[in-house]
Structure 1
Amino acid sequence: MDALILSTHDRNQTPAPLGAAPATVARWFDTAAEAAAPVSDGTLAGDQAAAETFRRLATAANTRSAYRSAVRAWCAWCQVHGRPALPADAADVAAFLAGERARGLAAPTLVLRRAALRYLHRAAGLPTPTDDLRVAQTLAGISRAAAAAGETPRKVAAATDAILRQLLAPIPGDLRGLRDRALLIVGFAGALRRAEIAAIRVERLAPTERGLVLELPQSKGSQAAAVRIPLPYGSTELCPVRAIRNWRAAAAIEAGPLFRRLWAPGPARPGQPAVPPRLGTAPLSPQSVGDIVQARAAAAGFDPAAFGGHSLKRGALTTGMSRGAHPAQLKRLGRHKRFDTLGEYLEFGDLFEGHPLKGAL
């Protein structure tokens, strides 16, 4: 996340605007955090430019976007208070974080703000003021105060197999319904994040005797290597293979993104049949995937605010746990590197059921 992406010594990099106006620093960082496709013409300068771009690619696009937003907030604060944005003073960073907290930002967001300022200084080839004890203690105090106030990270509801069936029940069999049904089932069967669902392409679905093997070029847990995810044949309405087959047949999708936007049709002319929605060519965005989950939850009578894109992944892992799957199998299904990360996705339900001391007390 905090990879060193640039250096003031790079021949093809605009020098960091040390001591410049905060707005100038913000514009420089917006450019510095971009990562276009690496291109080299075979010259030394071209190879250096390509190396620079690869260094930027060491940080995920979503993270770079979040960093740009955080650095813009930092520069705006510096502009208001007449403080230098680059290089930053540790005391100013601590004050900035405290001010952001006073504006209502959550503790995890402030941790991201700190990481962004660390990234900014490394991009400029400067020492990082965010490692100063004053900054660390300020964040620790904010986290402690947040915990004392009862602020806990929001977890979306787990769409377990039982809940998923309720979500699917009212979905009609029209084109939009077939897409949303397949999206929900595939997300559950593969324990997929919303960005992974949005990234599925038809050519990366390999049929086998036991189902489909989905290949994702990269995922949150594996940025540098492709992952292969089994989507097995099922014997119930939750079979992902049949759901994909029905959606593809109805939408006539032969290649490209599997889940796409459907454009609402115009009003039908009097006496004419209803106009079907128009199928787009671009994939759904991760945000759209989450919106679909919430919309289908609302249609099934649930509070949509309790659900989100991660509900399908949480539901898959929780269902596996309730069926007695070994933690190592759940970890593999969720593609987590550590067991403590896996635990964040499980919904344990009744705290008293299966208590380790049951029968001994």
Structure 2
Amino acid sequence: MEKASGPSSADSSSRAGTDLPAPRADEHTQLAHLTDANARAQAFASKARAENTKRAYRADWKQFVGWCEERGVRPLPALPKTVVLYVSAVADDYKLSTLERKLTAISQAHKTAGFDSPALTAKEPLHSVWAGIARTKSRAKDKVAPLMTDELRMIVDALPRTDENLFTTRALRDRALLLVGFAGALRRSELVGLQQDDVNVTADGLRLIVRKSKSDQEGKGLVKGIHYGKHPHTCPVRALRDWTRRASISEGPLFRGIDRHGNIRERALSGRSVALILKKAVKRAGLNPEAYSGHSLRAGFTTQAAREGVPERVIMKHTGHKSIRMVREYIREGQLFDENPTDALGL
């Protein structure tokens, strides 16, 4: 006996419990067009991602070349030791994933030019250095604390002074470095990358241009405004002015090294130097230096601003954060004791 014509039992069960009619003939054509459009959209998205990756590689390679040129070493072909020293020098400024990308950019540039990758030929020394960087960053992630306003005041108060109760030259630099880094929510690399031409003191405060940032691969730059502080002692604008006047800086890097004789160097500080300066200042103030890193300045600004009720969009505009998820982590930290349920325990 022949089976009745019509939809199969599978078709019936798949439509069971729905009120949707079967697609009409013209709808099949529309769905086909949508499928084509979706494929094209995915292709465009893939090209965009690829272009972003290429742009990041170009920026990474440019940074490596600049680092090599400043030190008079050859970037192409680079010696394996050069790559090891470079990774060690910039390790404090970037996440592991970003450092991995930078090594990939160096390798790709060498392969394109027909050379062996120094990142591969340096396998053993680089492997050891990389393992140390990974462990250090893992510990730092667990321990790093945001540097808050009250703590920063303590640190500034504890900076060394002369017999006349004036800040020493080194203290003036460190005070400006810490206050501008905090108020500007600056990364270490952004802080040491500042040039005299990047800042302008106005009647409203400090106008600051961040020309290079790891979140700004296209190099558009970010302009920030920093108001005068309420207290002259901890005002970032006055602190920077005092330092540049004492150091007679009219051009070039803002924050520079100082030798043991008090001579101010021409070259900018490194990102690692920022962390060391901060830890030393923290220790002098009686705080635990192991709890803080160079990132504590930026983290502290974001946490403090959130604690004071500054809106997310305003914080993100100032910090240059691209991800609201990261900013909200700081906001949760800043609001930890707001409307806290332990208030109701009566302890």
User: How far 1:331 sits from its partner (Å)?
Assistant: 1.1
User: Which of 284, 304, 317 is 1:299 aligned to?
Assistant: 284
2: CA distance, partners of 1:341 / 1:63: 31
Partner of 1:228: 223
Runs of 4+ in structure 1 over 6 Å off: 62-65, 356-359
Deviations 1:50-77 (A, max 9, x none): xxxx963366737999xx9xxx79xxxx
Please show how residues 281-292 of structure 1 align to structure 2 within 5 Å: 281-292=266-277
Change (3 A) 1:124 1:151: same
Matched residue of 1:302: which SS? coil
1: CA distance, partners of 2:65 / 2:316: 24
Please show how residues 342-357 of structure 1 align to structure 2 within 5 Å: 342-346=327-331, 348=333, 351=336, 353-355=338-340
In proportion to residue count, which structure has more helix?
2
2:53 maps to a residue whose letter is A
Unaligned runs of 5+ in 1: 6-53, 74-107, 126-149, 266-276
User: Which of 45, 49, 53 is 1:3 aligned to?
Assistant: 53
Change (3 A) 1:175 1:203: same
Is the CA contact (8 Å cut-off) linking 2:279 and 2:289 kept in structure 1?
Answer: yes
TM-score computed with the length of structure 1 as normaliser: 0.57
Deviations 1:238-273 (A, max 9, x none): 2111101111121121221111100102xxxxxxxx
Partner of 2:306: 321
1:241 aligns with 2:237: yes
Change (3 A) 1:63 1:351: farther
2: CA distance, partners of 1:202 / 1:319: 28
2: CA distance, partners of 1:308 / 1:58: 24
Partner of 1:258: 254
Change (3 A) 1:317 1:62: farther
Deviations 1:169-189 (A, max 9, x none): 111211001110111110111
1: CA distance, partners of 2:58 / 2:98: 21
1:331 aligns with 2:316: yes
User: How far 1:213 sits from its partner (Å)?
Assistant: 0.6
User: Which of 155, 167, 170 is 1:167 aligned to?
Assistant: 155
1: CA distance, partners of 2:331 / 2:66: 29
Is the CA contact (8 Å cut-off) linking 1:4 and 1:122 kept in structure 2?
Answer: no
Change (3 A) 1:122 1:289: closer
Unaligned runs of 5+ in 2: 1-50, 68-75, 82-94, 113-137, 162-166
2: CA distance, partners of 1:192 / 1:315: 11
1:309 aligns with 2:294: yes
Larger radius of gyration: 2
User: How far 1:317 sits from its partner (Å)?
Assistant: 0.9
User: How far 1:345 sits from its partner (Å)?
Assistant: 4.5
Is the CA contact (8 Å cut-off) linking 2:182 and 2:298 kept in structure 1?
Answer: yes
Please show how residues 46-85 of structure 1 align to structure 2 within 5 Å: 56-57=58-59, 61=63
User: How far 1:207 sits from its partner (Å)?
Assistant: 2.5
2:256 maps to a residue whose letter is R
Root-mean-square deviation over aligned CA pairs: 4.0
Matched residue of 1:331: which SS? helix
Is the CA contact (8 Å cut-off) linking 2:307 and 2:335 kept in structure 1?
Answer: no
Is the CA contact (8 Å cut-off) linking 2:61 and 2:102 kept in structure 1?
Answer: no
1:199 aligns with 2:249: no
Change (3 A) 1:229 1:59: farther
Deviations 1:195-224 (A, max 9, x none): 111011112112222011111222122122
2:287 maps to a residue whose letter is F
Is the CA contact (8 Å cut-off) linking 1:313 and 1:345 kept in structure 2?
Answer: no
Partner of 1:185: 179
2: CA distance, partners of 1:241 / 1:291: 23
2: CA distance, partners of 1:333 / 1:279: 31
Deviations 1:278-299 (A, max 9, x none): 1111111111111101110111
Please show how residues 120-199 of structure 1 align to structure 2 within 5 Å: 120=107, 124=111, 153-171=141-159, 172=161, 173-199=167-193
Aligned length: 242
| Percent of matched pairs sharing the same residue | 31
1: CA distance, partners of 2:250 / 2:209: 17
1:217 aligns with 2:211: yes
Is the CA contact (8 Å cut-off) linking 1:182 and 1:240 kept in structure 2?
Answer: yes
User: How far 1:152 sits from its partner (Å)?
Assistant: 9.2
